[in-house]
Structure 1
Amino acid sequence: MWTIGLGFVAVLVIYFTYWLNKWSNPRCNGVLPPGSMGLPLIGETLQLIVPSYSLDLHPFIKKRAQRYGPIFRTSVAGRPIVISVDPEFNHYIVKQEGKLVELWYMDSFSSLFSMEGESRTTALGVIHKYVRSIILDHFGTEPLKEKLLPQIEVFVSKTLETWSTQSSVEVKHAASIMVFDFSTKSIMFSYDAEKSPMKLSEKLINVAGGFMSFPLNIPGFAYHKSLKDQKEALTMLRKIVKEKMNSPGKHEDMLDQAINNMNKEKFLSEDFLIRWVFGISFATFEAISTALSLALKLIADNPAVLQELTAERKAILKARKNRNSILTWEEYKSMTFTLQVINEVFRIANVSPGLLPKALKDVKFKGYTIPSGWTIMIANSVLQLNSNTYKDPLAFNPWRWKDLDPSVLSKNFMPFGGGIRQCAGAEYTKTFMAIFVHVLVTKYRWTRLKGGNIARSPLLGFTDGLHIRITKKSS
């Protein structure tokens, strides 16, 4: 019996050693980038989601880049990942979209359709072209100039009026609701935030809350709640999509337009539209609300910035015939310093830890091979905090944008992605933020009550929110 028992233990040890070795040294038709795959199954997930309390790079990336070099491998939630802080490699990868790599969201959409006679890469290219085009139809420069600009100002004014009646406002949460409620009017008019029994914005905010939590689907964990709220949000969106499909109308909003295009575009199905609306609704509010929260903190902490923003507002109002008229496109484009502030906020904020393309084929670069199926994280945050490009990179200095070389910025400032994947909503995001800052600085004062301490995990946030009180300026 002892012999049998020892033999069984020996077999287990051999099997475990083999499995551990296989996990630590993944198969590759070449040389993998250096790094560690961490613990079996969970990889280095715990190290990634441990918060740091600085605007600097998250230690997970910074320490490994110093140890292994600018391209290294790891594993997060069981998924093998190569993280790159190499500007040359990052620039190369964004140009390979649809050739060597595809973005995760396209990967998830690709399972929803079949396009006979077309390769997967070609099909994904067709989807991306259509999605980008329809977003620009409703959130691009032309709709901003023609209708959205004044609508945003009116909506922001009403929102800030409401905030000024409250004793305290938690900026990130309140801004998320504001941006979501406005944006969904262009995405789907049939959703009325005030009349809906379930607040779709609250569900999506909760989904965002579990985005960088440990992926443990057990009651009581943030990830479990995130999945539950995601399911409820998708159920609500399914109902909205079905109602619109049963009563097609004119191109009133983005969802209407997509439904009316279903006969022309093979990939447009009910499931595709539900996931697409979910994704764009989420993306619309998350980046803007995070950047707005940081902007309020940084502006309040830097009186010289607030002073110049105020001077820019006064110049705009002074040049008007009617001081109370609505903001024009020309006035918006003249807000040079405001746009510098917004660029500086996005440079420091690094709202997203990076682009996440997936390798469609083995990717070879500088002697390394990234296997097909692996995820690549392009860590733009490293580029935007590089002291060789930005002097004193952790300092909030909007004036630096007067002298930065555009050719250098093209490879070192990518808050909205790069290549053919540059975010179609970039101009909308900047415009919304500029108008918010314009109305806030013109008509209100704000003071921080509590919170505002930075936490990166690696997404940017605050340890206990950012609570402020807003008061109207005397006219």
Structure 2
Amino acid sequence: MNEAKGLVPGYPQSMLDILGKCNIAAVHGSTHKQMRGALLALLSPSMIRDHLLPRIDQFMRSHLSNWDEKVIDIQEKTKEMALLSSLNQIAGKESTSMSQQFMPEFFKLVLGTLSLPINLPGTNYHGRFQARKNIVNMLERLLEGRKGSGETQCDMLGVLMNGEENRYNLSDEEIIDQMITILYSGYETVSTTSMMAVKYLHDHPDVLQELRKEHLEIRERKRPEDPIEWNDFKAMPFTRAVIFETSRLATIVNGVLRKTTQDMELNGE
């Protein structure tokens, strides 16, 4: 069921307005192919192996160290972790300085994506629309700062801006909408999956023991300061099984909205 068969994305207007007119859910045809190609370029095997995985390892070591000997609200902490990790992948070293200002605006934006699109003061949509404006302003300043420095960084924003690495030349508006799309699409899914993984592992100590065994075997071959590498990642079959099973049991994506561009038959009618 795809565009070739007369179906295009059919998300609520409030979601499209808040995520931006250039986000991948709002476009179709050749523009959709261009946006999709630009996003897939961020997830090439070499990009994951050489840049994304080392950056995730470094971020998680630092972030999780702040949880030591503390009682935490796992639901709130996994939401924070998911957003900050994605922001780190996108904005690199600038993410630290902008995170405290960015987080509250992003949380407002997420809450408004499924509200009625009535842009009047006091409505949820109005507040979330203002949050989008604030986020866009922050990302525009980030883009201008990168252009002014002339420095190319090996993060997602750097790849989107670098025409030599990414053959899909995007405008600033398109880049900003793709960054918001990446942050939004990964936020709820990663945070919920992480939270439920903790819950399921708590309920099944035998699985937790097997998971720890797999990780400790990898860690024993490395020095404490050595990062997780691509070969280590490939040597985690049980970890992948835990992730897949958690995603199966705790999925929050029940379907993909579509609308028709032409009359169609459904079940022969």
Superposition TM-score, scaled by structure 2 size: 0.78
Shift of 1:197: 8.1
Shift of 1:280: 1.4
The residue matched to 2:94 in structure 1 has which SS? coil
The residue matched to 2:8 in structure 1 has which SS? strand
Q: Is the 8 A contact 2:116 2:125 kept in 1?
A: yes
2:52 is matched with 148
- d(CA) in 1 for partners of 2:30 and 2:222? 53
The letter of the residue matching 2:89 is S
Q: 1:223 to 1:110 in 2, by over 3 A?
A: closer
Shift of 1:284: 3.0
The residue matched to 1:365 in structure 2 has which SS? coil
- d(CA) in 2 for partners of 1:214 and 1:275? 21
The residue matched to 2:259 in structure 1 has which SS? strand
Q: Residues 316-465 of structure 1: matches in 2 within 5 Å?
A: 316-318=218-220, 320=221, 322=223, 325-368=226-269
**Radius of gyration: which is bigger?**
1
Q: Residues 41-440 of structure 1: matches in 2 within 5 Å?
A: 93=1, 96-97=2-3, 100-103=6-9, 104=11, 108-109=21-22, 121-133=29-41, 135-136=42-43, 140-166=44-70, 168-189=71-92, 191-193=94-96, 195-196=97-98, 199-212=101-114, 222-250=124-152, 252-261=154-163, 268-318=170-220, 320=221, 322=223, 325-368=226-269
- d(CA) in 2 for partners of 1:344 and 1:173? 22
RMSD of aligned C-alpha atoms?
Answer: 3.4
- d(CA) in 2 for partners of 1:163 and 1:110? 35
- Of all paired residues, the percent bearing the same amino acid is 25
The letter of the residue matching 2:39 is V
**Which structure's residues are more often strand, by fraction?**
1
- d(CA) in 1 for partners of 2:232 and 2:181? 32
Q: 1:349 to 1:220 in 2, by over 3 A?
A: farther
The residue matched to 1:256 in structure 2 has which SS? helix
**Which structure's residues are more often helix, by fraction?**
2
Q: 1:232 to 1:359 in 2, by over 3 A?
A: same
Stretches of structure 1 that go unaligned for 5 or more consecutive residues are: 1-92, 112-119, 369-475
- d(CA) in 2 for partners of 1:239 and 1:149? 27
Greater length-normalized contact order (CA 8 Å, ≥ 6 residues apart): 2
Stretches of structure 2 that go unaligned for 5 or more consecutive residues are: none
The letter of the residue matching 1:161 is S
Q: 1:216 to 1:363 in 2, by over 3 A?
A: same
Q: Deviations over 1:415-444 (max 9, x none)?
A: xxxxxxxxxxxxxxxxxxxxxxxxxxxxxx
The residue matched to 1:281 in structure 2 has which SS? helix
1:424 is matched with none
- d(CA) in 1 for partners of 2:144 and 2:4? 31
- d(CA) in 1 for partners of 2:149 and 2:59? 28
The letter of the residue matching 1:146 is D
**In the comparison of the two structures, how many residue pairs are matched?**
258
